[in-house]
Amino acid sequence: MKTNWNYPTTIWVGENRIQDLCLACKNLKIDKPLFVTDKDLINLKMVQDIIKDLKKTFNYLQVFSNFSGNPVGENVEEGVGQFKKLDCDGVIAFGGGSGLDVGKAIAFMSGQSRPIWDFEDIGDYWKRADETNIAPIIAIPTTAGTGSETGRASAIINKQTGIKKIIFHPKFLPSIVILDPNLTLDLSPRLTASTGMDALAHNLEAFCAPGFHPMADGIAIEGMRLIKNSLIKAVKNGKDLNARAELLASASMGSTAFQKGLGAIHSLSHPINAQFNVHHGLSNAIFMPYVLTFNKEMIEKRIISICDYLELDKSFDNFLEWILELRKELNIPHKLSEIIDINKINLEQLSVMALEDPSTSTNPRTMGKDDMKALYEHSISGKLFL
**How does pLDDT run across 68-81, given as a tens digit for each residue?**
988 999 999 999 99
Region 184-205 average pLDDT: 97
Number of structural domains in the chain: 2
Mind listing the pLDDT tens digit for each residue in 202-246? 999 999 999 999 999 999 999 999 999 999 999 999 999 999 999
Same domain, 40 and 152: yes
User: Is residue 310 one of the residues assigned to a domain?
Assistant: yes
- Average confidence score pLDDT of the chain: 96
Query: pTM to 2 decimals?
Result: 0.95
In a shared domain, residues 126 and 224: no
Q: Note whether 78 and 175 are same-domain residues.
A: yes
Nearest CA-CA partner of 368 in 382, 354, 380: 354
Cα–Cα nearest to 256, from 206, 330, 194, 320:
206
- Residue 1 pLDDT > 80: no
In a domain, 15, yes or no: yes
pLDDT beyond 80 at 288:
yes
Domain that holds residue 86: 2-183
Rounded to an integer, the average pLDDT of 131-160 is: 95
> Beta partners for 138?
92, 176
The residues with which 62 forms a beta bridge, in sequence order, are 34
**CB neighbourhood size of 348 (10 A):** 10
User: Quick one: 235 and 175 in the same domain?
Assistant: no
In this structure, the answer to whether residues 147 and 258 fall within a common structural domain is no
Contact 173, 9 (CB under 8 A): yes
304 and 194 within one domain: yes
Digit-coded pLDDT (tens) for 103-113:
999 999 999 99
Which among 183, 216, 234 is the end of a domain?
Answer: 183
- Length reported for the chain: 386
Domain boundary among 147, 165, 183: 183
**Which of 149, 183, 217 is at the close of a domain?**
183
Do residues 59 and 195 share a domain? no
Cβ–Cβ < 8 Å for 92, 22: no
Q: Encode pLDDT of 359-371 as tens digits.
A: 999 999 999 999 9
DSSP string, 270-321: HHHHHHH---HHHHHHHHHHHHHHHTHHHHHHHHHHHHTTTT--SSHHHHHH
pLDDT of res. 69: 86
The answer to the question of residue 386 being in a domain is: no
Q: Is residue 14 part of a domain?
A: yes
Asked whether residue 118 falls in the same domain as residue 156, the answer is yes
Position 70 in a domain? yes
CA pair distance 134, 108, nearest whole angstrom: 5
Q: Are residues 83 and 105 in the same domain?
A: yes
Give kind and range of the element (H or E) at residue 50. Answer: helix 45-57
219, 174: one domain: no
Residues 172 and 246 in one domain: no
The predicted structure's pLDDT at residue 386: 82
Q: Where are the alpha helices (DSSP H) in 136-279?
A: 189-208, 214-236, 241-257, 264-276
Mean pLDDT of 171-183: 97
Domain of residue 232, CATH code: 1.20.1090.10
On whether both 10 and 55 belong to a single domain, the answer is yes
CA–CA separation, 247 and 119 (whole Å): 31
Mean pLDDT within 330-351: 96
CA atoms of 81 and 268, how far apart (whole Å)? 33
